[in-house]
Amino acid sequence: MLVEHARHVLQISDAVHAEYGVPGVEVVTALGCSLDGVDVELAIRPGTLLAGLHGGARTLTERTTCNYGLNPAFQAEIDASGLAISATDDTTEARAVERGDHPFFLATLYQPQLASTPARPHPVFVGLVAALLGG
């Protein structure tokens, strides 16, 4: 979603994800330290879709398996161009992004599905299913 936004909204035609090893502008880069299989503390931006899904919570703990993330050099530009940073980790790097002009368009650089149970379905998935019913 970050690469798609960079290519088609920011018009960076050679935006790439570093994992693919192809030449281009690395909008998604390897993280400085691996977050594979660890729980991360996140700060949620008030007023966002993500905040609403979590009942207005300001912080969140989520399980991540990501070794790649948004290149910090693009964070401000991405945020200002319609893909808002809705959660950050303790290094202030983006861990979730979303569009405010769309019914439900959210990317997490953590894996909410790993925390979902029948008794406690994850709010991100509840929100997605509720949104698709309206489509």
Q: Which two tokens stand for residue 40?
A: 């991360």
133 binds other proteins (CB under 8 A): yes
Number of residues engaging other proteins in binding (CB under 8 A): 40
Strand, helix or coil for residue 134:
coil
The amino acid occupying position 57 is A
Strand, helix or coil for residue 77:
helix
132 binds other proteins (CB under 8 A): yes
Which one among 25, 52, 88, 105 touches other proteins, defined by CB under 8 A?
105
**Stretch of 34-42, 70-78, 86-94, 114-122 contacting other proteins, by CB under 8 A:** 114-122
The amino acid occupying position 63 is R
| Minimum CB distance to other proteins, residue 53 (Å) | 11
| Minimum CB distance to other proteins, residue 71 (Å) | 16
User: What is the CA 81 to chain-centroid distance, rounded?
Assistant: 15
43, with CB counted inside 10 A (0-12, 13-18, 19+), is middle
Nearer to other proteins, 3 or 43 (CB): 3
Which one among 23, 37, 55, 135 touches other proteins, defined by CB under 8 A?
135
